[in-house]
Amino acid sequence: MTILVPILGDQLSHTLASLRAVTPAEAVVLMMEVADEATYVPHHPQKIALFFSAMRHFADELREQGWTVDYVRLDDPANTGDFAGEVARAAQHHSATRIVTVAGGEWRVVEGQRDWAERTRLPLTVLDDDRFLCTIEQFAGWAKGRKRMIMEDFYRIMRRQTGLLMDGDQPVGGQWNYDQENRKSVPKGHRFTPPLRFAPDAITTEVMALVAGRFGNHFGSIDGFSWAVTREQALAALADFITHRLVGFGDYQDAMVTGEDVLNHSLLAPALNLGLLSPLEVCQAAEAAFHAGTAPLNAVEGFIRQILGWREYVRGLYWFAGPDYTARNHLAATRPLPALFWGAPTDLKCLSQAVDATRRNAMAHHIQRLMILGNFAMLVGADPGEVHRWYLAVYADALEWVEAPNVIGMSQFADGGMMATKPYAAGGAYVNRMSDHCKSCNYDVKQRTGPKACPLNSLYWDFLARHEETLKNNQRLWRMYDGWRRFSAEEQVRIREQAARFLATLA
């Protein structure tokens, strides 16, 4: 009797439910590098290399622990190219009598897993993925019937449930949220401590060559790959962040600095999303730093809120919203994604900085994703489906359950307000306040119209005017619409013509 245990690329946890459910004596673990997963969107080469290298390392670790692992490499001539084909092939090869696996992390994969039983004619057990702090059912119970799913309400429940930063029933420090203290701009000359990076070992080097050969035409550079690819490295990256960089996490959380890719961000999302780290251990490490007096409350609470709050919330929302969530298009936006997202030159400094960081690192930090790239895509009316596929392709941490709510919901308002209470729309003034980009930009951030005017300004007002019917009753936008109505009719026309000229030349 052989139990086949398929483990997917984002299930690299030694405590995975399927590994707990069987013993090494009765099981064959199946891990598959498949062309379908590498190409269903054109993933950044670093993202593909990260998955393949982490999967290969994980397979070696399992073998060292006594598991039998059938590892299918991408370049195996017998590789059928998709999960279903590989599960069927392995089931036959190992004369498997049943299959035990953990539910995949996206609708597309979960739907595919259901077919494995039919394809192999074997009993199939799909276990819940229990590596999260809130179950899908718990979230649905909380969300059902609510008019608004406010993250902050959810977060407080999760604080109480886990006891993180709690003093009995009350938040440590007397406040649940220190976000107000987390919007400082960076003083001139401030030096950020660089994150711990990992030089590619032999496995990663081999994978990088494979990826460069097969997917070298995808947007993004493979050079400079330095991601953690094992749990040991991920734990070292976590310890390094907690010791050296958590202390400043809160202060400059929303800041952007020219030439500075990371600031005080943790860069832990890829390791968390692949399963190399657990969300609870990451939060507990941050909490311990607060109790040890090495990191202030605004930094620690801000960091824990991202993981215990936002990460769990978006995962719950993704499964609650259903498989058609990624097709939503509340603002009926249809423009093809502008070529600058794929690296075509742009003279907007904020955009060129964010796209270039994405190209070099398969990473951009939150405010670049939300308020630079996402904001621009929404203002120009880019098709949210195309925007979603771009984000899914280019970031090392992009898995649909976390990417889609952030893109469709938070950044494009395409779900009509299920996630965000208003569109995250901004003109140049926001970028100028939160970054130093405008100082070295060709455009003048203070101007709305004219050849030197920052395009974000006219695009912002044009966006509000274009969607007035849909958005005017949103209370959180009243002040903005009030601002729009204060312009003279002539100025409104000038602004909209300026936006139209920009949009007409935007390829």
Interface positions with ligand FAD (CB under 6 A): 265-269, 272-273, 303, 306-307, 310-311, 314, 365-366, 369-370, 374, 391, 395, 397-398, 402-403, 406-407, 410-411
Burial call 153-177: b when 16+ CB within 10 Å, e when fewer: ebbeebbeebebbeeeeebbeeebb
State in angstroms the smallest separation of the CB of 401 from ligand DLZ.
Answer: 8
**Residue 16 or 27: which CB sits closer to ligand DLZ?**
16
Cβ contact 6:119 at 8 Å: no
Q: Using an 8 Å Cβ cutoff, are 273 and 10 in contact?
A: yes
Instruction: Judge contact between 322 and 404, C-beta under 8 A.
Output: no
Closer CB to ligand FAD, 420 or 471, in the complex = 420
| Whole-number Å distance between alpha carbons of 465 and 481 | 8
Q: Pick the closer one to ligand FAD by CB: 352 or 406.
A: 406
Each as own residue / partner, the long-range contacts of residues 194-202 (CB below 8 Å, 24 or more positions apart, any chain) are 194/262, 195/237, 195/240, 195/241, 195/245, 195/262, 195/266, 195/267, 196/236, 196/237, 196/240, 196/241, 197/226, 198/226, 198/227, 198/228, 198/229, 198/233, 198/237, 199/226, 200/53, 200/225, 200/226, 201/229
Alpha carbon distance 434, 256 (integer Å): 6
Residue 402 interaction partner, one of ligand DLZ, ligand FAD, none, beta carbon < 5-8 Å per kind: ligand FAD
Give the whole-angstrom CA distance, residue 218 versus residue 342: 9
> Between 343 and 382, how does the x/- string for binding to ligand DLZ read (CB under 6 A)?
----------------------------------------
Between 67 and 249, whose beta carbon lies closer to ligand FAD? 249
> Under rule CB under 6 A, which residues in 404-463 are in contact with ligand DLZ?
none
The entry of ligand DLZ, ligand FAD, none that residue 33 binds, CB within 5 to 8 Å by partner kind: ligand DLZ
Q: d(Cα 379, Cα 382) in Å, to the nearest integer?
A: 8
Binding status of residue 10 toward ligand DLZ by CB under 6 A: yes
207 belongs to the binding site for ligand DLZ (CB under 6 A): no
Nearer to ligand DLZ, 11 or 182 (CB): 11
The item of ligand DLZ, ligand FAD, none sharing an interface with residue 406, based on CB under 5 to 8 Å by kind, is ligand FAD
Q: How many residues bind ligand DLZ (CB under 6 A)?
A: 16
Shortest Cβ 389–ligand DLZ spacing (Å): 13
Which residues from 73-132 bind ligand DLZ, rule CB under 6 A? 104-106, 109
β-bridge partners, 335 = 382
Minimum CB distance to ligand FAD smaller for 204 or for 368: 368
Closer by beta carbon to ligand DLZ, 241 or else 401: 401
Question: What's the Cα-to-Cα distance from 268 to each of 54, 214, 241, 279, 288, rounded to whole Å?
Answer: 14, 27, 9, 10, 17
Among the residue ranges 37-45, 187-195, 243-251, 368-376, the one whose residues contact ligand DLZ (CB under 6 A): 37-45
Query: At its nearest, how many Å lie between ligand FAD and the CB of residue 448?
Result: 26
Contacting ligand DLZ within 14-33 (CB under 6 A): 32-33
Distance CA 419, CA 377 (A): 18
Minimum CB distance to ligand DLZ, residue 106 (Å): 5
Least Å distance between CB 396 and ligand FAD?
A: 9
Find out whether 60 and 68 touch, Cβ atoms under 8 Å. Answer: no
Instruction: Evaluate whether 134 touches 160 at the Cβ level (below 8 Å).
Output: no
- To the nearest whole angstrom, how small is the minimum distance from the Cβ of residue 432 to ligand DLZ? 36
Choose among ligand DLZ, ligand FAD, none what residue 370 binds, the Cβ cut-off being 5 to 8 Å by kind.
ligand FAD
Residue 64, Cβ density class (10 Å: 0-12 exposed, 13-18 middle, ≥19 buried): exposed
- Nearer residue to ligand DLZ within complex by CB, 17 or 32: 32
Binder of ligand DLZ out of 51, 178, 225, 227 (CB under 6 A): 51
* Under rule CB under 6 A, residue 397 binds ligand DLZ: no
Q: What is the DSSP string of 429-476?
A: HHHHHHBSGGGGSSSBTT-SSSTTB-HHHHHHHHHHHHTHHHHTT-GG
User: Which residue ranges make up the site for ligand DLZ (CB under 6 A)?
Assistant: 8-10, 32-34, 37-38, 43, 48, 51, 104-106, 109, 399
